[in-house]
Structure 1
Amino acid sequence: MPTTLSVNVNAIAMLRNRRDLPWPSVEALGRLALQAGASGLTVHPRPDQRHIRFTDLPVLRALIDDEFPKAEFNIEGYPSEEFLALCEQTEPEQVTLVPDDPSQATSDHGFDFRATSEWLKPIVARLKKGGMRVSLFADGDGDVEAVKLAKATGADRIELYTGPYGGCFDNPELGAEILERLGKTADAALVEGLDVNAGHDLTVANLPALVKRIPRLAEVSIGHGLTADALEYGMAETVRRFCRACGQKV
């Protein structure tokens, strides 16, 4: 199956939040993305609501339920009690847990599973009891033991942190090395029975190589690069470009 695309709308919300005005509309641009072929929407509601606001969640939930019932809602964030309650209220199809400190500008590392595996187990169980698929943000460094510990939490998937890979846009040799480490991590996860997602700084240019190295890559979640391209190509055409880069026929 081709890799699916979940459009992260946080950057759209950040632009909206520069003014006390309702545009650009997260709902309207989310609708355009889904109409153009995206398989879902992703949000990362941080405690200070500097991007997505808590009030956006029921709006996007209703958009998917009412107009795109085959699409998925993915909510990512640090598993504080407030975040877990938001997930239980919104009932996304997927929750992606990340080890972010609230002060971080963006996600920039995966979980240290040696230190957090036991802590994550009841959190994963709580979310899965609510019918949500659980994915854990993971460093794609080829650490097989860490992957086994991720599996032991009860999670369904890992999401490979691809920031270092995306950062090698001007250094193809280093990019190839990082890509191979990501691939080895994915290989280990698939052996353990974990599905594999990926996200962070992915672009139309670097996606094809990632999908080729990880042909069973389930989903990519993309916000910054996709939103930047949408300023040039428009949201609908940008989504189609990214879907094609994922190997989809659109």
Structure 2
Amino acid sequence: MGRIGVAKAVVILSGGLDSTTCMGIAQHAGYELFPITFDYGQRHRIELECAKKVAAHYGVRDHRIVSLDFLRQIGGSALTDDAIDVPTSGVSRDIPVTYVPGRNLLFLSIAASYAEVIEATAIYIGVNALDYSGYPDCRPEFIEGVQHVLRIGTKAGVEGRSMQIETPLLHWSKAEIIRNGLALNVPYELTTSCYQGGEEACGECDSCRLRLKGFAEAGARDPIPYRVSVG
């Protein structure tokens, strides 16, 4: 049950900077927030605890954590296979080894199932086509394709009830994401972006580098601790 007369939004919440910014944006838009977090055996498991803290910060009544251990079973990514090292040499424009096969497709499918049951009208996901253009499941054409499937493949869709995938960060730089988040008092101190999953962010993986660069370009200080700060 939600608040009477208030539209609901399912927010795919990883505990990272981008998804937490989506929480702030969805709240600012007036939605009642229903975050969903996926435990898919990722090596950066500290983000699960971050997601819990972010959900508590926003005072949500229902934070779902869904197990998708199959993604670790099949591996194929530096985030789910310990035999594949997380790269620390710099950001690549190619599809990186941190790409998790089918991850966002699964996330959106399950989020859509949840949204249909609770009659949410929006699904927020923090995909970004600028900083992560190497990921095929962070591109506009991917989101458009999934949106089409939801229109023709769900009861809500065929009955004409809106279930819109919201991607407010899609075309923003990391600095723009951070500036907008800071304006909404997004609690970045509760988040992590590191692929390594240590108590302190490594400062060397692609995700740390992009985050540090974004804060620098936004003229702000990143509030989380780093083991190494490479800029």
* Same fold at TM > 0.5: no
TM-score tier by shorter-chain length is 0.3 to 0.5
* TM-score (norm: length of structure 2): 0.36
Larger proportion of helix? 1
